[in-house]
Amino acid sequence: MTKPRTLFDKIWAAHLVHTQEDGTCLIYIDRHLVHEVTSPQAFEGLRVSGRKVRRPDLTIAVADHNVPTTDRSKGIADPESRTQIETLEQNVRDFGVPYYAMDDVRQGIVHIIGPEQGMTLPGMTIVCGDSHTSTHGAFGALAFGIGTSEVEHVLATQTLIQKPAKNMRITVDGDLPPGVTAKDIVLAIIGRIGTAGGTGHVIEYAGSAIRSLSMEGRMTVCNMSIEAGARAGLIAPDETTYAYAKGRPHAPKAGQWEAALAYWRSLPSDPGAVYDKEIVIDAATLVPHVTWGTSPQDVAPVTGHVPDPAREADPARRSALERALAYMGLTPGTKLTDVRIDKVFIGSCTNGRIEDLRAAAGIARGRKVAGHVQALVVPGSGLVKEQAEREGLDRIFLDAGFEWREPGCSMCLAMNADRLEPGERCGSTSNRNFEGRQGRGGRTHLMSPEMAAASAIAGTIADPRAA
Amino acid sequence: MQKFDKLTGVAAPLAMINVDTDMIIPKQHLKTIKRTGLGKALFDEMRYEADGSEKPDFVLNQPAYRKAQILVAGANFGCGSSREHAPWALLDFGIRCILAPSFADIFHNNCFKNGILPIPLPQETIDKLMDDARKGANAQLTIDLETQEIVRPDGEVIKFRIDDFRRHCLLNGLDDIGLTMQKGGDVDSYEARQKTAQPWLAMAQD
Ligand code: SF4
């Protein structure tokens, strides 16, 4: 009998092109997603060495980080952002790479459009010069972020030099209590294992609470694997996955669908497969979570308080905590729901999908954003925006006083005009609360779309279950 | 790629855990389309006031460390975004080697592609090296990749170990792409196999 294998082991083995004596592997890449920030130097590298893109047909490019979320007919005001996007447009022309332009309805955040277009499928290897490539792992695809030198390597060779990761399994079993979302699951996991908890590992999320999630929810969980230190997250493909993929523009067509399905069904981890690390979480114990500090592991139940550094035994942790609270302008012991916010951002590759917007709209319906709060809703793609508008979500948001924007990364990293001013505090559905992430001196509290909508209305961090 | 074999230089102490790539190079500097010139923006928000003047307390602004070539830092260095601008900025400033208890995966990888040597070491060793680094320009460290040794200012030798293939590439300044191109035949036959086994992987073009 062959040794039981994990989902990761199977995908890895299926993509080995060459293995060196020391265990360094050359693996084949099925899909390469390209965006404007991490690709210019890679294309430049190709040009300098006279190389071509080996498989432009397996590559797709889109501009998302720098694009304005306001009226685009006027072009891009910031000259550097404009140059970066024009450079991408020149590069895709020169190298024959397919591209969704800014006025294409399919344009959006790279990690939203891959799944939406059916480019992300089970069993694949998917890379992008972007750490949140882990999102695509929700389909049972091995998907991870790479640096620009590796982007160039994939462009030139359609392969990557890698060593296999270790296997880690996080099992979340049981029924999720009402009002607890995929975002809360992943924030709770990061709070528990820390931002280096998954380093060197690929995390496979398993258990009935994970299986009960929609594809959108699974993407939210896998998205933040990188915040848990893992390069990739994985969820075994199942009927939910196949139903989502079927009929999408780049999904296997009739005639090939059955063969693909048969292969995908062989992918889930074998019974008895061994993991290097195992974590088990009881779903019934989970509650809505929010971050209070400047690392995604600085997380607490929304019913909790700002922690006291004096009670931290480890000196390195204590000084990090003191620094975080000083930066965040928070006093130990403050009730989190007493923390007043200035802005709300609903969007990003973590929570910018249709289901996220529905959830936020469900809370916003018939209510009003607090007078001192500016609240932005930024759909993850043009198609998400269209769908939301068909469902009338834009009206709900606009009536409640939210701003309804064009798709892109927006205030998740504030490379475009959407950003926090120094000292401003934001309830954000994105994935990083690092110092300065949403604008120099800006203060970020990570939360679910439900909590973000509830907080916009309350004007403070708010428990969505009470809204 | 620049080779890395042996380096003797000043080490700057950065006693912080979870130094993320947003700190190393904040997003306003990601709009460049070049690899060079990022050194002045390294650690931007920790290093400069909002008006652009230097914060005198920040380690790389202190006279002893302005030419540091080595960084000694806390655990999980380089976490966060995959931006290769982080190692580019470090390199452009002159940092060639980083010593820390642990590194985030993508950053760790990116260093090797740019001739920077990241060395993970036990916390006790980092504590000693941090003390050395705090002594400023009078306490230089020597990093020898060939022998995989660090020599402390007092002469003590600390052994470290780097993956053989990565060490070989760094010592010789080898370009990965060139190496992989030599395996073009393997890639061709892999593609041929995949085409029959999983024809749906070809992306429908429009
Ligand atoms: S939404 Fe944020 S995390 Fe996602 S790709 Fe854009 S910048 Fe990165």
Kindly report, residue by residue over A58-111, the tens digit of the pLDDT: 999 999 999 999 988 888 888 999 999 999 999 999 999 999 999 999 999 999
The pLDDT, as a whole number, for residue A1 is 60
Closest CA to A220 of A251, A192, A181, A194: A181
Q: How many residues comprise chain A?
A: 467
Contact B42, B99 (CB under 8 A): no
Q: Determine the pLDDT at residue A136.
A: 98
Per-residue pLDDT at B206 exceeds 60: no
pLDDT tens column, A285-309: 999 999 999 999 999 999 999 999 9
A318 reaches B (C-beta below 8 A)? no
Q: In this structure, are strands A31-35 and A125-128 parallel, antiparallel, or unpaired?
A: parallel
Provide the pLDDT for residue B157: 98
- The predicted-structure confidence for A109-153, as pLDDT tens digits, reads as follows 999 999 999 999 999 999 999 999 999 999 999 999 999 999 999
Q: Which of B83, B104, B113 sits opposite A38 (nearest CB)?
A: B83
Which of A144, A156, A437 has its CB closest to that of B177? A156
Q: Is the dihedral of CA B36, A80, A97, A106 positive or negative?
A: positive
* CA–centroid distance, residue B165 to ligand 1 (Å): 32
Chain Cα centroid distance, residue A21: 35
pLDDT per residue as tens digits for the range A306-330: 999 999 999 888 999 999 999 999 9
Kindly state whether B161 is in contact with chain A, defined as any CB-CB distance less than 8 angstroms: no
Q: What integer best gives the mean pLDDT of chain A?
A: 96
- Asked if B49 is an interface residue toward chain A (Cβ–Cβ < 8 A), one would say no
Averaged pLDDT, A434-447: 96
**CA A395 to ligand 1 center in whole angstroms:** 26
The answer for B 14-43 residues in CB contact with A (under 8 A) is 15-18, 20, 22-23, 26-28, 30-35
Partner A, chain B 117-146, Cβ-Cβ below 8 Å: none
CB proximity list for B179: less than 8 A, separation 6 or greater: A161, B169
Closest CA to A433 of B23, B181, B167: B23
Beta carbon of A409 within 6 Å of any ligand 1 atom: yes
**Pairwise CA distance, residues A425 & A291, whole Å:** 12
Q: Strand A343-346 relative to strand B97-100: parallel, antiparallel, unpaired?
A: unpaired
Residue B204 reports pLDDT greater than 70: no
Strand partners, A426: A343, A444
Question: Cα B185–A128–B82 angle (5° rounding)?
Answer: 120
* CB within 8 Å: B83 and A24: no
Ligand 1: atom nearest CA of A432 is: 3
Contact flag A146-B106 (C-beta cutoff 8 Å): yes
- What distance in angstroms lies between residue A349's CA and the mean position of ligand 1's atoms? 6
ipTM value > 0.90: yes
A257 CA: distance to closest CA in chain B (Å): 8
Q: Can you give the pLDDT at residue B59?
A: 97
For ligand 1, the distance from its centroid to the CA atom of residue A223, given in whole angstroms, is 10
What is the tens place of the pLDDT at every residue in B167-199? 999 999 998 998 999 999 999 999 999 999 999
Closest Cα to residue A318, out of A353, A293, A285, A290?
Answer: A293
- Nearest by CB: B45 against A229, A414, A440: A440
pLDDT at B205: 55
How far is ligand 1, taken at its centre, from the CA of residue A111, in Å? 8
**H-helix segments, A158-269:** 182-193, 208-211, 215-223, 239-245, 257-265
pLDDT in tens, A349-385: 999 999 999 999 999 999 999 999 999 999 999 999 9
Using the beta-carbon criterion (under 8 Å), do B176 and A149 form an inter-chain contact? yes
User: Which residues are registered as beta bridge partners of A205?
Assistant: A170
Residues B130-175 pLDDT 10s = 999 999 888 899 999 999 999 999 999 999 999 999 999 999 999 8
Q: Find out whether B107 and B77 touch, Cβ atoms under 8 Å.
A: yes
pLDDT at A218 over 90: yes
